[in-house]
Amino acid sequence: MKLTEPEWLIMNTLWDKHPAKARDVVERLPSSVNWAYTTVKTMLDRLVEKKAVSKSKRGNTGLYEPRLSRRQARRTALRMVLDRAFDGAFGPMMYFLVEDESLSAGERKELIKILSGKSRSKGEQK
Amino acid sequence: MKLTEPEWLIMNTLWDKHPAKARDVVERLPSSVNWAYTTVKTMLDRLVEKKAVSKSKRGNTGLYEPRLSRRQARRTALRMVLDRAFDGAFGPMMYFLVEDESLSAGERKELIKILSGKSRSKGEQK
DNA sequence: ATAATTCTACTACGTTTGTAGCATACTTCA
DNA sequence: TGAAGTATGCTACAAACGTAGTAGAATTAT
């Protein structure tokens, strides 16, 4: 499931804390974002339609909850870049990342540790 | 400069070989893509408008050339994911990548080599 | 109970995307 | 030199996005 930019913002607040009322989402949106309540409402409803979010009701008030996991969304986003921008080649993308981004020595070390630690072969997890 | 999905396809053929005529692009598009000549033309022109591609003419025929570098496009795409999906935190994204993707032992080793090789501290490059 | 507030449902509307047709002008080959 | 093919510029148009208003229902506070 592909998310658009504003949808990411909404989902992020939802992942951080849920269930949430539309009002909650509005309030927890990054301060740089100044959407009208109705805008957020519309987007929430569209996300429900897309099945990225589920909606229940307590009394008259709608409660929204992520249905799409953050992990899955991240996976989709990365795979998209991987496919479009690196023709699906994982190695080159990783190479690009460590080459292009300026990693601190600490970050590099951290990564090496992660990589070394994962000696066991991991099964697919879809 | 953000590229849309079909734009990536066009740009990819352009990066692979350029300058190219509209016809060339049509032909080099992945076989799964079956766009009409005019569709490609429209997209090329929109890319020109966006300044992602430059256009010159030899006689009556337009020659297109990437103006946006592949590297820059990749950077933008990755930064977008980084910002939206990982709140700009590079480490966690890398962690996610090595955690989530099932790397082969070889790939891991390769990465470790890359990482270890880059011991010199690299200056910022924005 | 009633006024004020808050939600919800529904609608709106300009822009961008995705995809392509048409008419016209140019090129080329028989 | 005219027919066939190709390129170009312009137009079209539906779906998705991004953003928000309005009206009426429900809740709350006085």
DSSP-assigned beta bridge partners for residue B20 = B64
> Residue A77 and residue B84: Cβ atoms within 8 Å?
yes
Contact status of B57 with chain A (Cβ, < 8 Å): no
- pLDDT single digits (tens) B14-57: 999 989 999 999 999 999 999 999 999 999 999 999 999 999 99
Return the structure tokens found at B63.
């020659």
Residue appearing with tokens 């740089």: A32
Cβ atoms A66, A14 nearer than 8 A: yes
Cβ atoms A116, A124 nearer than 8 A: no
Q: Which numeric CATH code is attached to A5-66?
A: 1.10.10.10
Give the mutation candidate from A33, A78, A113 for the B interface (greatest B CB count, under 10 A). A78
- pLDDT single digits (tens) B74-96: 999 999 999 999 999 888 898 89
Annotated domain spans of chain B: 5-66, 89-118
* CA gap B82, B92 in Å, rounded: 9
- pLDDT single digits (tens) A57-71: 888 889 999 999 999
Give the mutation candidate from B10, B33, B93, B111 for the A interface (greatest A CB count, under 10 A). B111
Give residue A124's pLDDT band: very low, low, confident or very high (50, 70, 90): very low
A102 or B118, greater pLDDT: A102
> Residue A107 and residue B91: Cβ atoms within 8 Å?
yes
* CA gap A91, A87 in Å, rounded: 11
Residue appearing with tokens 């080159």: A92
Closest CA–CA distance from residue B4 to any residue of chain A (Å): 10
Cβ atoms A85, B102 nearer than 8 A: no
- CA-to-CA dists, residue A2 to A118, B2, B96, angstroms: 29, 16, 18
Return the structure tokens found at A67.
């249905």
- pLDDT single digits (tens) A88-115: 998 889 889 888 766 677 777 877 887 7
pLDDT of amino acid A125: 39
pLDDT more than 70, % of chain A: 90
